[in-house]
Amino acid sequence: MADEIVTRFAPSPTGHLHLGHAYSALFAAAAARRGGGRFLLRIEDIDASRARSEFERAILEDLAWLGLEWETPVRRQSEHMADYERAVGRLKALGVVYPCFCTRTGIRAEIERSPGAPHGPDGPLYPGTCKRLDDGERNARVDAGESFALRLDSDRAARIIGARGGPVAWTDVEAGERPIDTASHGDVVIARKEVPTSYHLAVTVDDALQGVTLVTRGLDLMPATHVHRLLRALLDLPEPRYHHHQLITDDAGRRLATRNRATALRTLRERGAAPGDIRKMVGLGAS
Ligand code: GLU
């Protein structure tokens, strides 16, 4: 059915779920249920150094305890590298990615040297060091076996989309139409040095391959949607709708995050909370 609602919850198995995750998962499942649609679960485990199978097991257990049901098999990103490599191949063919040999330390030093460097929602933007390399040096470094990430050439990507006549915007269910800001994130990483993909690429490819029609996630990820919409346009992937939801905060008004020691759902459960209590704690009714 063309306009069937398909939503997903896409946690990274790098820690235990907390109330913020519970809200996000319940929100996605409710949006699917209201529309008589489908709810999917995806495990975002491309970061092999941080993803752990015990966290994945705990995530499935916590979500089932909350009363959620999802379709199987669950898509695990680490098992689909070939899909991301294909997408990278298409971006290469369009000429919108370039190798970046920089290290984190090198990037930080370069940014410190240029005080007026542009900032994006996640901090300073990549200063374009490797974009300015001439072809000779670039090829020599690749040939010498130096490791590199691939970055999106956001200027070139914007020019290509402009020449095609768009798209120019994406739609959030609450915030309405948002003009695509192709410069907001600068030249993001498309494939990391050690993994042939990145968060931005994997999420874009997967949402499309899984037929997700309504991408729901927290407002903290709203700025990233500019990048995802641009990637979809470059890869000729269909456009979903987006619904960025409020973030659950702690008593001090801080966004819940594992690094802020947000209490894990399983700890609340051990202390006697029932699934209905969790719903209430995140401001959702008993349904
Ligand atoms: N895996 C991401 C996270 O844990 C969410 C991805 C998304 O919803 O786009 O925050």
- Which pLDDT score is estimated for 249? 81
Rounded to 5°, the CA angle 235-139-48 comes to: 55
Nearest CA to ligand 1 atom 3: 11
Distance between Cα 269 and ligand 1 center (Å):
24
What is the whole-number distance in angstroms between the Cα of residue 43 and the centre of ligand 1?
9
Choose one of 16, 23, 42, 44 to mutate for the ligand 1 pocket test, by most ligand atoms within 8 angstroms of C-beta. 44
Hey, how many other C-beta atoms are within 10 angstroms of the C-beta on 30? 17
Per-residue pLDDT tens digits of the chain, which is 287 residues long: 457 999 999 999 999 999 999 999 999 999 999 989 999 999 999 999 999 999 999 999 999 999 999 999 999 999 999 999 999 999 999 999 999 999 999 999 999 988 888 888 888 999 999 999 999 999 999 999 999 999 999 999 999 999 999 899 999 999 999 999 988 899 999 999 999 999 999 999 999 999 999 999 999 999 999 999 999 999 999 999 999 999 988 777 777 666 556 689 999 999 999 999 999 999 887 55
Give the chain's end-to-end CA distance (angstroms, integer): 27
- Of 142, 146, 150, the C-alpha closest to 99 is 150
Whose CA is closest to 60, among 82, 45, 38, 80?
A: 45
217 Cα nearest atom in ligand 1: 8
Do 48 and 90 meet the contact criterion of CB atoms below 8 Å apart? no
pLDDT, residue 259, reads: 59
pTM: 0.94
Q: How far apart are CA 230 and CA 257, in angstroms?
A: 28
**Ligand 1 centroid vs 208 CA: distance in angstroms?**
15
Rounded Cα distance, 118 and 184, in Å: 9
Q: Which atom of ligand 1 is found nearest the CA of 24?
A: 8
Kindly give the number of the ligand 1 atom that is closest to the alpha carbon of 14.
Answer: 4
Maximum alpha-carbon separation in the chain? 64
